[in-house]
Structure 1
Amino acid sequence: MFGFFKRNTAEVEVKSLLKGKVVDLKSVPDEVFSSKMVGDGFAIEPYEDAVYSPVDGVVVQVFPTGHAIGIKTNEGLEILIHIGIDTVEMKGRGFTTYVKPGDVVKAGDRLISFDTELIRKEAKSTVIPVIITNMELVKDIKVSLGDAERGDNIAVIRLK
């Protein structure tokens, strides 16, 4: 009647950023991600060599080395996509970026391509953590683990 009991929780659907295997964040071989120090989310073992936007939003950061990107969704979620583990040490070798800060992206837009074989040779892992860095906005996250095609809905994030 007065809206006292009305729930106003928004949901954000997150699509698979590439063809791969969605895994629990705890399995990532880097304590910063696996302990959820920077936020919660999931990771993907890549089966292809390019990352596409998992959400609609605005690119807020592209790391100079091309190994990571930050996107802010229309709902205010901040999502970090980090390609591989210890890939910052590659100093940009093997990464090509297609967007810059301020670009508006739609789910499915190409963001970064990468050389998987070079990452296997020079970095610790090819796994790609996808992290919500402003968890204070999040009520819960439901992730579908296992194989996914690019564009599949793989996570639902309910906002507070």
Structure 2
Amino acid sequence: MLSIFKKKEVNTVVCSDDEFVAVANGTLVPLENVSDPAFASKMMGDGIAIELSEGTICAPCNGTLDVAYPTGHAFGITRNDGVEMIIHIGVNTVESNGKGFEVLATQGQTVKAGDPLVKVDLKSLSKKYDMVTMLIVTDPNEKEISFIDCQEVKKGQIISK
């Protein structure tokens, strides 16, 4: 008998609790190259940015979603080993007041690397905003954090070294 129901797509990203994965398909760029001076100067912490080529943003690690802005433009996650980070989608996108963002995750939930956090309407938002997306380590919890060299990446690809 044929099933008329489609299986729900499951993101099966396997990574350890001390690794980061790409939050979307795109190209990694140095944080110093982003157009927002606060992020480029590493005022909030060190990290990496990604020029998005698609609009579903996923969790970069295994951990807890501590902050999920209702506007969908930013998320704060504490990795299972205590490292804290933020994902900031676009530059000045808070001004959109959530238009173009469909939040898929709930503050306080446990996430696995690759779990979808938000869908972003890149076509619409990129008309007004620079949609580079920053992954900033705000508290390394005394751990050495480093990322792979800038290159094209696929969602779920391990980007820490």
Which range, TM-score by smaller chain?
0.7 to 0.9
1: CA distance, partners of 2:62 / 2:104? 16
Q: Secondary structure at the match of 1:154?
A: coil
1:48 to 37, 45, 54: 54
2:21 to 6, 9, 15: 15
Aligned partner of 1:93 in structure 2 is 99
1: CA distance, partners of 2:72 / 2:52? 16
1:82 to 70, 78, 88: 88
Q: Secondary structure at the match of 1:139?
A: coil
Give the structure with the higher percent strand: 1
1:60 to 60, 66, 85: 66
What residue identity is the alignment partner of 1:115? D
Q: How does 1:103-122 map to 2 (within 5 A)?
A: 103-122=109-128
Aligned partner of 1:153 in structure 2 is 158
Runs of 4+, deviation exceeding 4 Å: none
**Coordinate RMSD, CA, aligned:** 1.5
1:143 to 148, 157, 161: 148
Q: Secondary structure at the match of 1:37?
A: coil
Gaps of at least 5 residues in structure 1 are 1-9
* Contact 1:83/1:127, CA 8 A, preserved across alignment: yes
Corresponding pairs, count: 146
- State the Cα distance separating 1:118 from its structure 2 match: 1.8
